[in-house]
Structure 1
Amino acid sequence: MIGIELPVIDVTDPAVLLDPFAAYREARERAPLARLAIPGMGEMWAVTRHAEARAMLTDARFAPNSGSYLTPPGVPEDCRAYLRTMQEKDGPEHARLRGLVAPAFTARRALAFRPKMTRIVENLLDALPAAGPVDLVADFAKPLPMDVICELVGVPAADRPQWREYGALVADGSGRGFAEAIPGIVNDARALVASRRAEPADDLVSELIEAQAEDGDRLSDVELVTLVWHLVLAGQTPANLIANGVAALFAHPEQLAALRADEGLAAGAVDELMRWCGPQLLTTPRFTAGDVEFGGTVIPGGTPVTAAIVSANRDPRVFADPDRLEITRRGAGAHLGFAHGPHFCLAAALARVETEVALTGLFRRFPRLAPAVPVGDLRRTPDPGTWRLGELPVTR
């Protein structure tokens, strides 16, 4: 099978942007690998099937590096040291940083944090406009994750509106606005660390500072500031998951009715929604250290390779009738929506609980919640890497 002809997907093709599930489905059933054409940027390879994607994400021959995340042009020199985040590190260096912060993101800690998340959800629902259609993306789904992660990390309430703006720039995906905001992001992260060093509190930043004080070799000042801003801005996945999930449930009223009738189904529903309409379509690219034989062909050295989550999560080899949404599906948790292996999403447990609290709180508060426009007419933001809604107008 070495040298098989691989399907090619133009990620900017309007048909692919409109329905990536169909495009990747066709590629997946032809071969376990595909080539992604990215006009102006060259080519990236994608692993299309579930088993092979899991294998690639744990294979040391594929590793993230500085090429996984491009430094935006125009970033001031004094900020550049803070841009190499944990996600683009590998091996012992990555393991050391992850080990320092991982205890704050266990399933047990996420459940313990649930009452605070519930309070944040209720406050946002209280603040929704009283009249007319409400945009759940702008007024609920986007601010919620930022408020939750700021509470966890220890960002003061007065500073959170600014961090919401930073989060919006990241969610926009254009890169330019984010690049312009980097000095402010870095300075605000520095200020937060300095504040908590002077006055510790019951939050993650204070925990990290305490660990640094106990053993200064474990976490440098640059690493600490980098961790702070990256944790805050990387914790925005639930925004798109919540919006996608609400839209999917609107489109499948029998599934919504089942969830309304039994909130005990919510945890499983979150995993099924992440499998069926999770926001991340592709994992962060990894690079082959040399020529690698994989999936029946040879991938040249230095090639960027991604796992096509959009394809793997609907692989019929793992999920029966994979294009059907079924919130009671057994085995939905096998999805790769949070990736897999050493770079498995650090805040996955937090995101799961947060989405569960958001969906149950929303549908409990508004039993007549309905889309203000046909679900099929909802506007998707054209993005080859993320499946997301530009808005979600609803009536109550």
Structure 2
Amino acid sequence: MPKRDAEPRRGRPIPPLISTDPQNAYDHLREQAAACAIPSVEGTPMWVAGRYEGVRSMLSDPRFANNPATVPNGAAALLPGEPLRKLGLDDDLVPYLSDTILDSDGRDHARLRRLVTPAFSVQRIMTLRPRIERLADDLLDALPNHATGGVADLLDHFAHPLPIQVIGDLVGVPAADLPSWLRWTHDLSFDRQSLTGTLRPLVDYTHDLVRRRRAEPGDDVISELLRVQDDDGDRLDDRELVTMVLSLVIAGHDTTAAFIANSVWALLTHPDQLAALRADPGLMPRAVQELLRWCGPVLVARTRYAMRDVDLGWASFRSGDAVAAALSGANHDPREFADPKELDIARKYQNRGEVHVSFGAGPHYCLGAALARLEVEAALGRLLERYPGLALAVPERDLRWHAASGMRKLAELPVRL
């Protein structure tokens, strides 16, 4: 297999394609080499791994760290929080976005994950199905009120509000405050030039919410983390606790909303698959797994950093090298999937486990994977039942997508009810 230091793989004109057509860009990179060198968004060099075998092995390898500061001897080119400071974020706010469970490694990561994992166990998540279905029904009942001439934006009035209500309820954010959360998370995603103005009120609000939950605990994640904080064993300080809440709500909302919209788009543009799902609703769990493989919104995982010189067989990396796993490239790798460009909701595998890598792999496998799957199953099931004539209100080529190298998500989803 090709090694990472093959010079012909350096300097190819890939970055413009990544910003305008990310899915095809990562497919292109995958077929160039097991690992290709390109400039990162920050301008520092990085490697992109896009083949299925490489992505799974690298994400599961403890010799790669999420936090560049973990790399010995300062070998990583990028320091934690540096990109945020360059965007003008105040120093005191930087840790809330750069020192999270996603940025931790080793024992620290295991400690943080152990504290919050019980709230996202499959057993607990499954008890939420009736609540999620009721929320979906309420939003779908109100959808005609947001329509003009029978056309409504499913993104604004269904895909976005459903997951923010679900994760808000689970974490302990009062329903009356969720519209503010929705606005804050939207601004954090799309208005990176005013990060301080968005993040400060969000951080202040969450500190206040923690104080309220400390005075009046409930059956929610914040209250549970506060109980842990008061125990003699592992504990979170207030900054860690607020950061955890922010991470859970932001991560639990944006990607799930994007995936609901992506899934509806995929089904409406593949009428044979939509018809098969309508004819056999029992296919829904398998359909969601295939949709995750085919149109999962997270195209590339958080950058990892080689802790030392590493030879993985398919590629080798030097200490400090930044390596990004192109999840979409792996999910469309013809070496792993037959006809990977085809959407097949009845696709079968010899392996009974989860085959796609849309939730990552290894220690940082998505904490909210079970919740996301359940939300999308419930959302699609109720939507297709409630609106049997649902159709795109514009030609597919006229749909607008956000230009982002690491995400594939719609800017709007106009549908005819």
TM-score w.r.t. length of structure 1: 0.93
Per-residue CA deviations over 1:206-237 (Å, capped at 9, x if unaligned) read 11111222236422222111111111111121
* Code of the aligned partner of 2:176: A
Q: Which runs of 5+ in 1 are unaligned?
A: none
Amino acid in structure 2 at the alignment position of 1:333: E
1:270 aligns with 2:288: yes
Distance 1:277 1:213, change over 3 A: same
Matching residue of 2:395? 374
Inter-CA distance 378–295: structure 2 relative to 1 (3 Å threshold): farther
Q: Using the aligned pairs only, state the percent identity.
A: 45
Corresponding residue number in structure 2 for 1:290: 308
Q: Which residue of 1 aligns with 2:93?
A: 79
RMSD (Å), alpha carbons = 2.0
Q: CA shift at 1:146, angstroms?
A: 1.1
- Output aligned runs, 1:93-108, within 5 Å: 93-108=108-123
State how 1:168-179 maps to structure 2 within 5 Å: 168-172=186-190, 174-179=191-196
- Counterpart check, 1:350 vs 2:353: no
- 8 Å Cα contact 1:68-1:285 kept in structure 2: no
5 Å matches for 1:93-242?
93-128=108-143, 129-132=146-149, 133-172=151-190, 174-215=191-232, 217-236=234-253, 237-242=255-260
> Do 2:34 and 2:315's aligned partners in 1 also have CA atoms closer than 8 Å?
no
Contact 2:301 2:360 in 1 (8 A): yes
Separation in structure 1 between the aligned mates of residue 30 and residue 92 of structure 2, nearest angstrom = 44
Counterpart secondary structure, 1:342: helix
In structure 2, do the counterparts of structure 1 residues 252 and 38 end up closer, same or farther at CA, with 3 Å as the change threshold? same
- In 1: Cα distance, 2:80 partner to 2:56 partner: 18
- In structure 2, the CA distance between the partners of 1:24 and 1:166, relative to structure 1 (3 Å rule), is same
Count how many residue pairs are aligned between Structure 1 and Structure 2. Answer: 394
Which range moved further: 112-121 or 325-334? 325-334
SS state at 1:223 partner: helix
Cα deviation 1:234-286 (Å, max 9, x = unaligned): 11211111111111111100101111122211111111111001101100001
Q: Hey, what's the Cα distance between the residues in 1 that align with 2:128 and 2:11? A: 44
- The partner residue of 2:59 within 43, 50, 57 is 57
Distance 1:68 1:343, change over 3 A: farther
Quote the Cα distance in structure 1 between the aligned partners of 2:308 and 2:373: 37
Greater mean deviation of Cα atoms: 118-127 or 67-76 = 67-76
- 1:9, CA displacement in angstroms? 5.8
One-letter identity of the residue aligned with 1:232: V
Is the 2:393–2:416 contact (alpha carbons within 8 Å) kept by the matching residues of 1?
A: yes
In the aligned structure 2, how far is the partner of 1:32 from the partner of 1:130?
Answer: 47
Structure-1 separation of matches of 2:28 and 2:96: 41
Classify 1:177/1:39 alpha carbon distance in 2 versus 1 (closer, same or farther; 3 Å). closer
SS of aligned partner of 2:45: strand
Aligned residue in 2 for 1:245 = 263
- Structure 1 contact 7–30 (Cα < 8 Å) conserved: no
CA distance in 2, matches of 1:350, 1:359: 14
Contact 2:188 2:198 in 1 (8 A): no
Q: 1:79 to 1:126 in 2, by over 3 A?
A: same
Give the whole-Å Cα distance in 1 for the aligned partners of 2:268 and 2:196.
36
Q: Which residue of 1 aligns with 2:9?
A: 6
